[in-house]
Each structure stands twice: as structure tokens, then as C-alpha cells.
Chains A and B, each alone.
Chain A
Amino acid sequence: MKKLKSTILLQIFQSRWSILVYYGVILLVFALNTCSAWFFEGREVSINGTEFSTAVFLFITAAIFMKIQFPFFLQNGISRRTTFVGSILAGGVFAVGMTLFTQLIALLAHLVSSNISTTFFAIYSERYGYHYNPPAFFEGLVWNFAMNLMFYLIGLFFSALMYRLNRILKTVVFAGLGALALFLPALDVSLGNGQIIQSLGRAFLFCMGLLENCNPFYAVATFLILGALFAAGEYLFLRRATVKK
């Protein structure tokens, strides 16, 4: 138990500077944006990009996990199982912390200028009557937490996958994914009448809770389920990982 706690604390310790710098930049941008809003009346204060950048930041933080933390844990007598659990829990801590911080900045933005537009609000504003009210804030917290956690877990999966694959397989994976992204739409349009893309689109909207209704909790469920799958994938690659030469 104590060792598990230490693995989480260590991951936070390792990321302390990058998180500080990240928020330093965010706050700077926010401050500049706010100032310009005062000078030029009616200008929208937006933290639109911030939620997505937080998710990307979390992905990147997780993506270097295997290379840096895994050998370190091994050196300190920590099993792969504990390393795995520690990686997930640390992801949870990061997701909670950064979601809170980002959303508080959003709240601040709302106080400065009611022309708030967070990504979440932009998607689901219909549900809140186009007003940034308390439910919007709190449900936004849950939605962002789930999304951030999912991105972190994808990062962990990516990290473990890259660690285990040799150069050849890595090329195959990237080439394969690239080919899929390039050729699937083209094939679909010419052969399938665009059905596949359309179905994928409908599935996406459904998962995000935007198909019939406007329910962010569909998305939350989707994020958590996908996150769990990626976490399982991480474990699959982690459990037999060895230290590379």
C-alpha cells in the first residue's frame, strides 16, 4: 500500500515542472485575452482550446511513462502489477487536478465576461438553455474529468505499446493506421456509398449523447469504457515488459 502511494507521488513529482509551465502559459494567455477583452469591448473571452490542450498534455505526460518511470520502479523493487495500478491511479489524480484547475479558469472567464465558451458548453449548451449555469459547471467537470482520464489512459497504452514493439512492428502499426485513415473514406465513398462513414458518424454522435437528446453522460460512459479498454491494453503490454538494452 505504502509502495503504491509512493509510485503515485513519484509520478506527480516527475511532472511538477511541466504542469507548472503548462498552467503558467495558460494563465498568461488567459490574462492577455482578458485584458484585450477590456480594451476592445464585447470581445469574447474564450478558453476554447484549453480543455483540449489539457487532454493532449495529459496524453503526452502518459506517453513517456514506460520509458522513464517503468525502469525506475523496477530498480526500486516495484512489481509490474503495482506499477500498472500506480499509473492508473496517478492518471486519476492528474485528471481530477487538471480538470478542476482548467474549469476554475473557465469559471473565472465567465465572471470576467459572460461570453464564455468552453468546448463542453459549446457542445451541450442546448441542455443548459444556453446559460452557463451551475449544472453546466458541474456536469462539465464530470465530462472533462472522464475525457482527460481517457486521454491519459490512451497515452499509457501508447507508451506501453511503443515500449514493447520493435522498429519493424512500429512501422507496420503506423503505416497500417495511416493507410486506414487515408483509404477507408475513399473506399467507402466509391464502393459503399459512404455508408460506413455515415454509420461511424451516427455512432459517434450517439456515444457523445448528441443523437436524439443532449446528454453528456453518454459521453462520460463512452470515455470511461474506452479508457478501461486502453488501460487493459496497457496491462497486456506491461506485464511481460523487460528493461531494454
Chain B
Amino acid sequence: MNAIEVCKVSKSFGGTPVLQDISVRFEEGKIYGLLGRNGAGKSTLLNLINNRLFPDSGQILIDGQRAAENDAAQGKIYFMSEKTLYPRDMKIKHVFRWSKDFYGGFDDAYAQHLIQAFGLDVNKKVSQLSTGYSSIYKLITALCVPVPYVFLDEPVLGLDATHRDLFYKLLMETYVERPRTIILSTHLIEEIANLLEHVVILNHGMVCRDQTCEELLQSGYMVTGKASEIDAFIQGKEVLGMDAIGGLKTAYLLGERPQGLEDAFEVAPLTLQKLFVKLTSE
């Protein structure tokens, strides 16, 4: 199966390790969530895959080819991030035109559809756009270049609620039409939780979780009840975290749920955000 393979990659900045012996695989045609707190190493990992930085050790392969300094391999991926690498004075329509040239293609028809849907003025220059529209033209580029791997780092930065909603809908539409690997990296976990098929969580430069969304959400549960009863219940169990308010306590647990738990306590499944917060808290 075609995939992007990150093999035992490490990276330090000025003596501080940011990524430690990371191995992860992004397979073709799936939507991934890459989650992590600030400083967890997400951006560094994305920069390494996209040839912006060099790993200290390990290697990255794209469909079996070395990713670093490789035109053919890099031509298979597009990286959308907050950082604008386009020339400030370039008009958006020219950004699209050159993307077409470098990536060997551009879905002009779909781009038109998106430009109209978002109300983007393609005659504006890169430097003249608001934060929201800066994200939008990059998103359009990301979705219109014929690459099998698309990285979206904080894709909805600056987008109002209407545009965010529109983006998620359009993302699903284009994904069904032309399935490809989409890696979403964002802090807005609740918003994208249902879009994901697979989740990779980074914490302190290491892979904390690398599972399908379904497996991850079924890996635990939360119980709420009287503090003393909860304290008794959690003995011998794997506890991710606890919340307390008044005499009530909520415990977040990993593992299989005992039968008949609902009779004694209030039980609920873990949501991706809750699981993430508890997994990555100190």
C-alpha cells in the first residue's frame, strides 16, 4: 500500500529534543487527525515530511522514495500552513497558475467553484488578504493540486463560522469524489472529530496514540458519581484523569467497561477532545 512512512525520526533544536525516535505511517486515501499540544512536535514533524527541515536521524519515505530533497516525492504532497511562503506581491490568480505549473496540474473547474463559494478575489495580492482569506486561497490550492497527500495545518485559521462549515462540507465532497490522504492538524478537535478515520496524537515529541478513531473512542469511558464511590471504583483501573465538583467526581478511565455499570453510576463514552485533553495533561 502506498504511504508516507516516518521511520525513527529525531529532531532537536539547540540541544532540546523536539521529536524523539518517531515512527508513524500515513496510508493512502485516509483522513488523519494529527493532534498535539503546542510544543508537542506537530509542526516540526510536518516540516520534516515536507522538506522544510532536515531530521537529525531517521528517514522519511513517500511511496517508498526518499522524501528529503526529492522533487518527485515532494511533488506528491502539498503543505498548507499558517506560514505564507508565497511572494507578498503575487496575485492569487498567479499563485494558482504557478501551482499548476509546479504540480503538473490544477483542477481549474473545481477551483472556480471554490472561489465563488468562498467569495475570494483572485486579483488581490497575497499581502492584501485578511487572515481568513489567506487560509482560503491556500486551502483552494491544497484541494485543487493533483497530489495524493495533503497536509492541512490549522486550515480554518481566521475563517468565520459559515466558512468553516462550508470548508468541512467541501472537504467531504472532494474526498468522496477523489479519495486521497488528508492529514488535518488542528487544535479544534471537536470540530473535526467526525471527519477523521485515524488519529495520531503526539505528546512531548513522541507518539502517544496511533489508532483508528473508532478504536480510540472505544478504548475508554467516563464515570460520574459520588466522590467516595468513584474513588472505590477506580481502584486497580487505568485512570487518565479526574474532575471533581462539589461531592461529585468524574473519572476518565481506559479499558473495558464492566457490565451493569449504568445502574450504579452515570456512564458516558469518551469524546476525542476529552480523551486528548486527559492523555496530554501533565
- Chain A residues in the interface with B (C-beta under 8 A): 2-3, 6, 9-10, 13-14, 68-69, 71-72, 74-82, 240, 242-243
Residues on B with beta carbons closer than 8 Å to the beta carbon of A10 = 98, 101
Cross-interface CB contact of B102 among A68, A69, A76, A242, cutoff 8 Å: A76
Q: Are A75 and B85 in contact (CB under 8 A)?
A: yes
> A2–B83 Cα gap in the complex (Å)?
27
Pick the contact of A81: B69, B85, B99 (CB < 8 A): B69
In the assembled complex, the Cα of A242 lies from the Cα of B71 at a distance in Å of 16
Q: Tell me if B104 and A2 are in contact (CB < 8 A).
A: yes
Residues of A within 8 A of B77 (CB): 77
A77 touches B75 (CB 8 A): yes
Asked whether, in the complex, the Cβ of A78 is within 8 Å of the Cβ of B85, the reply is no
B201: min CB distance to chain A, Å: 25
How many angstroms between the C-alpha atoms of A79 and B94 in the bound complex?
A: 21
Chain A residues touching B, majority SS: helix
Asked whether A78 and B102 contact (CB < 8 A) given A14-B87, A72-B87, the answer is yes
A123 to B54, CA, bound (A): 49
5 closest Cβ pairs, A-B complex: A77-B74, A71-B85, A76-B102, A75-B85, A79-B69
Q: Which residue of A lies closest to B78 (CB)?
A: A77
Decide if B87 touches A74 in the complex (CB within 8 Å): no
User: Could you say which of B83, B87, B94, B102 contacts A77, with CB atoms under 8 Å apart?
Assistant: B102
A68 with B99: in contact, given A77-B77, A77-B78 (CB under 8 Å)? no
Contact of A240 among B54, B86, B99 (CB under 8 A): B54
Contact B86 A75 (CB under 8 A): yes
Number of interface residues of B (CB under 8 A): 25
Q: Are B51 and A3 in contact (CB under 8 A)?
A: no
Query: Could you list 10 A-B pairs, sorted by A, with CB under 8 Å?
Result: A6-B101, A14-B87, A72-B87, A72-B98, A75-B79, A76-B103, A77-B75, A77-B102, A79-B51, A79-B69
B54 and A77 contact, CB distance less than 8 A: no
Cβ A74 vs Cβ B71 within 8 A:
no
Residues of B within 8 A of A3 (CB): 71, 75, 102
A82 to B51, CA, bound (A): 13
Q: Which residue of A lies closest to B94 (CB)?
A: A13
Which of B79, B85, B86 is most buried by chain A, counting CB atoms within 10 A of its CB?
B85
A13 to B101, CA, bound (A): 13
Once the chains bind, are B71 and A80 in contact (CB under 8 Å)? Answer: no
Is B130 on the interface with A (CB-CB < 8 A)?
Answer: no
Q: Does B226 contact A (CB under 8 A)?
A: no
Task: Chain A residues near B169: list those with CB within 8 A.
Answer: none
Asked if residues B71 and A77 are in contact (CB atoms below 8 Å), the reply is: yes
- CB neighbours (8 Å) of B53 from chain A are 242
Identify B98's interface contact among A76, A79, A243, CB under 8 A: A76
Contacts A14-B87, A75-B86, A79-B70; is A6 near B98 (CB within 8 Å)?
Answer: yes
Question: How far, in Å, is A241 (CB) from chain B's closest CB?
Answer: 10
Q: Which residue of B47, B54, B86, B102 contacts A6 across the interface (Cβ within 8 Å)?
A: B102
Q: A243 near B85 (CB under 8 angstroms)?
A: yes
- Tell me, in angstroms, the Cα distance from A10 to B100 when the chains sit together: 12
**Which of B75, B86, B104 is A72 in contact with, Cβ under 8 Å?**
B86
Q: Nearest chain B CB to A69's CB is how many angstroms away?
A: 8
